[in-house]
Structure 1
């Protein structure tokens, strides 16, 4: 078991970070970003965190807890000399895998650790079976039933989510409002500050349902028979080349990133942190990479619905561990039985 030194680092980071800052939704902050000479990205007003009155209080405990312990082995692709292209998009590489194109909405539940993890697991089941198995695994099973993952809708431990997939398996369950699968995600899409289509996210964090190892009424497959297991789970060595090889060989990965105040304003371009305090630790999928205006980037899928950012996606600076995106990357292989 690998013990991480991140808690001390994170506490220092939280306490010491005092660069140029403005309150959330500051017009001055948006102006600063859009007129910065070397920004590389554009911002627009979002309300994502205005409805989270207690977010700063929860970060000290829940955000740091996510990194207290490394429970997965670390793998490297140093011995694999595969040629890496300048551009790669999993949506194009595995066009028969619809899950890769899906953008989720965690709603008013801080479950990105579960949502991003099961999204990447679902992608990998498809990519590693050559498109013959297409499922959407249940994020709410992790939120409700994975006791070692953390406090459910109040952040969690994504490595434990991958371990749970291998040890316990996961049933199916589609995302917001789609009552398909054994345990579908129960929380509706909401406005994270950029939507005219959904009601605004509320002030109260949802309480996840009690763990119920029974599928929803009307679903014909028994809970135990609906399980999909991972064969192995691991953390990818934290460098650009290893992460790119992992994605190209096996499919999208899940990564944890540090979210600063300016990120919630992201609209287009290649994001890099410019200003604002650290808000939270968040999990996303990395599905590819590329170069835009000579800036290398990771192509990532967020979980704030399709009306945020680039239709739910964002690009972030690649190769320099921007916002720690290359430091905590989780993945796994599929049990082919």
Structure 2
């Protein structure tokens, strides 16, 4: 087919197409229509809406007098600049044979690129025929249609960087604006892009700074700009300050959320300036979270029920041994290679599973005299212990011990931890089942989720026992049998602990109530010690392992005041024995040797 425009003074070229695709949902239809065409302009156009259907095309036109870039757009008229000298245009080489005059006219908004300086046959490349058919009755109808398209799927909003040149030339430098919605109508802007299409006006955040003045000829919808770190922001633009989102208001002032942040600089500075006996730090892995999110996602142990709290405490015969307890004791030094390193629960409220698995791992290693040193799997508990448990939304340690006793778990290497992405936290399908093989013992019925590991032995415990809240009895239990599990209350300042002997401070007492919150956590106590003060007094402390990774605290551990039930850490303390027989140790030792030979 041959299309020709012998020199229309307004540069209008009539083109025709049959197949129409409208919207982004992929529905195709064939319709007839008339009107429309190509509006030529050297730099920019003013959009308006009229009652006809249209197509959107992407193409490049080369012809003797000039080279034109065709912009993909909704078909809306383009008013050429005064004084433009538009050359006669002939379109040839159309590849589609089904084009005919009674189909819908396509619109070709274009912008002048420059003089080509040569004579050659103009080529028409249809890179995309992405058609958008708008059947509109008038301007108000079109406005209603466009108003339903309120979100750009692939938009890259102007965020955080600020407006360094709020009144610079972006759409003007581009050489043209685009009517309707065109996700290719962009200009590089800082480390992102901004838009020069009419749709950007639906969300102020992704328009180029000069869109309103250059493309629409109107004043911008914002009154002023906001400044931050030497950068200017337009009204409606945002940046995030720690855990709070700040928005540039129409008055030129920042409007910020007032959340209490997990990493609160005022609290960190107050602790470090005060004489509290410990130091605080700003942790990058916790920065940007609110205090509410930290308590919700970084703890995860539910307080025991009244029935569990009334468990009988075991009776210890302390007699003269009480005086023989050393000033300092560390399980890792008494049982080298048998005390496991702290893990990181991430944003998964499952300290109930991490502390249980850690204590059981240490106790089995000690009890087996090192023949069995499993790092038991918290994920096995999180995914499979679902009876009245919440996985990454919190759980009870008594439920965890029930599961470890009655069902058992495999190692962390066999069933590795899968931290939840961003928002916690799917429990995940249980991928490890077991069956009874008699005498209370269990055997795995599935292979390891980690297919590189074939060692799917099930490890179990005996019923846990509760210790007295007397610090001497807790110390003796740790020295004789290994680390214990404890429940504690975590306050807002504990998250920023770096080193020293922790005690809850009053640094947030002058702040609003949302800065003073606490939640229940469970940890593993591995030892104790004393620190002498300059005045001759001493500070007693527990050595405890957290589950926030080795980059937190003292290599994943913390020290906390001992003997006065700081943060209720001595209220509910648990010990346990592994379910181990000589046959288990023999089989494990034989299997271990076979794997390494």
Q: Which one of 409, 412, 416 corresponds to residue 184 of structure 1?
A: 416
1:312 pairs with 2:312 = no
Q: Distance in 2 between matches of 1:317 and 1:27?
A: 24
Separation (CA, whole Å) in 2 of partners of 1:169 and 1:307? 30
Q: Would you say the 8 A contact 1:41–1:268 is kept in 2?
A: yes
CA–CA distance in structure 2, aligned partners of residues 253 and 50 of structure 1: 33
CA shift at 1:67, angstroms? 2.3
**C-alpha separation in 2, matches of 1:312 and 1:68:** 29
Matching residue of 2:539: 295
Provide Cα deviations, 1:107-151, integer angstroms capped at 9, x if missing partner.
121111111110110000011122221111111111111123520
Query: CA-to-partner distance for each residue in 1:38-62, whole Å, 9 max, x for gaps?
Result: x111111235374368648959xx7
How many residues align structurally? Answer: 288
Structure whose alpha-carbon radius of gyration is higher: 2
Secondary structure at the aligned position of 1:243 is classed as helix
Correspondences of 1:1-337 after superposition (within 5 Å): 23-37=261-275, 39-46=276-283, 48=286, 50-51=288-289, 55=293, 65-71=302-308, 73-81=311-319, 82=321, 83-97=324-338, 100-148=339-387, 150-173=389-412, 180-181=413-414, 183-187=415-419, 203-212=422-431, 213=433, 214=446, 215-216=448-449, 217-221=451-455, 226-275=457-506, 276=508, 277-293=516-532, 294-337=538-581
The change in CA–CA distance for 1:111 and 1:88 in structure 2 (over 3 A counts) is: same
Q: RMSD across aligned C-alpha pairs, in angstroms?
A: 2.5
Displacement over 2 Å in runs of 4+: 22-28, 46-59, 65-78, 80-83, 212-215, 217-221
**Cα distance in 2 between the residues matched to 1:50 and 1:327:** 33
Deviation of residue 27 (structure 1)? 2.5
Say which structure is richer in helix. Answer: 1
SS in 2 for 1:334: coil
Q: Distance in 1 between matches of 2:573 and 2:542?
A: 13
Q: Give structure 2 stretches of 5+ with no counterpart.
A: 1-259, 434-445, 509-515, 533-537, 582-597
Q: Could you tell me which runs of 5 or more consecutive residues in structure 1 were left unpaired when the two chains were aligned.
A: 1-21, 174-179, 189-201
Q: Contact conserved, 1:77 with 1:246, CA < 8 A, in 2?
A: no
Contact 1:94 1:127 in 2 (8 A): yes
Task: Give me the whole-angstrom Cα distance separating, in 2, the residues matched to 1:151 and 1:52.
Answer: 22
Per the alignment, in what secondary structure is the counterpart of residue 267 of structure 1? strand
Distance 1:310 1:58 in 2: 23
Say if 1:247 and 1:102 are closer, same or farther in 2 by CA, change over 3 A.
same
Once residues 292 and 493 of structure 2 are traced to their aligned partners in structure 1, the CA distance between those partners, rounded to angstroms, is 19
Pair 57,265 (structure 1): closer, same or farther in 2 beyond 3 Å: closer
Give 1:251 deviation, angstroms: 0.6
Q: Secondary structure at the match of 2:463?
A: strand
Structure-2 change in CA distance of 1:306 and 1:149 (3 Å): farther
Match of residue 194 from structure 1: none
Higher relative contact order (CA 8 A, sep 6+): 1
- Structure 1 residues 219 and 157, CA gap change in structure 2 (3 angstroms): same
